[in-house]
Structure 1
Amino acid sequence: MSINVTTACLTIAKARNDAVLVGTMTAHHVYDDNQVKHPRLDSVPLMGGAPSLALGMAIACPQQKVIVVDGDASLLMQLGGLATVVDQAPANFYHFVLHNGTQFSSICNLPIPAQKSIDFAGVAKSVGYRTVHRFDDPQDFAAKIDGVLASEGPVFVELIIDPGKPVHGVTLMFEIPDTQYKKMGRQMRALTQWYRERADAA
């Protein structure tokens, strides 16, 4: 069994309340397409960088929850970052990984390294995340996500995702890195202002 990627990402977005949402690769496309608003930051094209960005935010503002929506290929690029998260042990840090077993999903679906054997939840548990979950059923995930986000972090959640079919053709549009960095800069400035306004209101 597996979960549709849009269903997974929107389930997280709907349950987050005012938690900051840090997405990468596939997740950021879902959030753009569905107009998911601030507080939000897309870690693109910094493939593998989302957990580290989110960790910095979680440490800087320990009263504010931060949710990472990571990709499996992205996580493999910075797998050592899991140990850094555990070393800092932020109670407000929630790390979701979309495990569909592919890179460039829905374009060419290249298999990730060690796809047949990798156990992301097992890795997170062994390195010391406070709580680890794995979901492959959308109803089960939707029923339990509030409890997941109510628990003390750092929390790791592996979501088994349907990779979908690769789509080829001239209608594909690719965001170039310069455009992505500019978008990320705009989001960061907006997020900084959001943090300031919350601090002023406290």
Structure 2
Amino acid sequence: MDINEACRIIEGVRGGAILVATMGAMGAFDQLGAAQPRINSVPLMGGAASIGLGLAIGRPDRRVIVVDGDASLLMQLGGLATVAERQPRNFHHFVIRNGTQFSGFSNLATPAEDIVDFAAMAKAAGYRGASSFSDAAAFSEALPAILAEDGPIFTELRVTPPPPIPGANTQFEIPPQQFVRMGAEAVALSAWLAERGND
């Protein structure tokens, strides 16, 4: 499966769960028109799990779905232990694993791609369950049962990276709006949750 398929499957069953996405997943959910409740973890690369944990603790009445990236998670592996320590039952952590950084540009390989086992790391850290999928149909079939489990639950989604652009430069400027988007989304999410109370 590719990242768009993976995110489409998640969005299809998300319902009222709070969505925290980062990097490529953020763009995929944008294309899908994913609406509130939602916040993205860009440019805070590696912070998706921590943001999701805070939301899960603050709003135990709502499921929180974190859609992380493999390179992002590698930057903040301590997040796995922090989540596991708190054991939020409403926390579901998905990681898009395409084995690359700057996907669709230069597709730089992520460190230790051939040996890292994210699901095993999450399980060893103390997540209640961990699994891995590479087939869209199998993931789609299993997802309702995964979301019905008490968290924290970890699911690795192995996806094919987009083809690189020959000669792409990774030293590009991040658009200025990316530095204010996350703050604006935090304000919007807070207002959305306040309006709905514990419904």
Q: TM-score range by the shorter chain?
A: over 0.9
- Is contact 2:106–2:167 with CA below 8 Å preserved after alignment? no
CA distance in 2, matches of 1:161, 1:197: 37
CA shift, 1:176, in A, is 2.4
Q: Which runs of 5+ in 2 are unaligned?
A: none
CA distance in 1, matches of 2:123, 2:18: 24
Question: Which residue pairs with 1:60 in the alignment?
Answer: 58
Q: % of aligned pairs identical?
A: 49
Question: Which residue pairs with 2:145 in the alignment?
Answer: 147
Could you give the per-residue CA deviations for residues 19-58 of structure 1, whole angstroms, max 9, x where no partner exists? 0000000000111122111111010010000100010000
CA distance in 2, matches of 1:39, 1:62: 14
- Is contact 1:16–1:149 with CA below 8 Å preserved after alignment? no
- Is contact 2:21–2:40 with CA below 8 Å preserved after alignment? yes
CA shift, 1:196, in A, is 0.3
Question: Which residue pairs with 1:161 in the alignment?
Answer: 159
What letter is aligned with 1:176?
I
CA shift, 1:178, in A, is 3.4
CA distance in 2, matches of 1:67, 1:102: 22
Matches within 5 A, 1:97-116: 97-116=95-114
CA distance in 2, matches of 1:177, 1:48: 19
Question: Which residue pairs with 1:21 in the alignment?
Answer: 19
What letter is aligned with 1:40?
R
Question: Which residue pairs with 2:69 in the alignment?
Answer: 71
- Is contact 1:86–1:128 with CA below 8 Å preserved after alignment? yes
- Is contact 1:38–1:191 with CA below 8 Å preserved after alignment? yes
Matches within 5 A, 1:127-142: 127-142=125-140
Question: Which residue pairs with 1:87 in the alignment?
Answer: 85
Q: Which runs of 5+ in 1 are unaligned?
A: none
CA distance in 2, matches of 1:196, 1:122: 37
Query: TM-score, structure 1 length as denominator?
Result: 0.93
CA distance in 2, matches of 1:127, 1:99: 19
CA distance in 2, matches of 1:36, 1:14: 10
CA distance in 2, matches of 1:98, 1:51: 13
Query: TM-score, structure 2 length as denominator?
Result: 0.94
- Is contact 1:48–1:77 with CA below 8 Å preserved after alignment? yes
Could you give the per-residue CA deviations for residues 110-159 of structure 1, whole angstroms, max 9, x where no partner exists? 00000010000011111110011111110000111111111100000001
CA shift, 1:169, in A, is 7.7
Shift in alpha-carbon separation, 1:175–1:184, aligned structure 2, 3 A: farther
2:44 pairs with one of 43, 46, 52:
46
CA shift, 1:167, in A, is 2.1
What letter is aligned with 2:54?
G
1:196 pairs with one of 170, 194, 197:
194
CA shift, 1:190, in A, is 1.0
Match of 2:177, SS state, is helix
Aligned CA-pair RMSD: 1.7
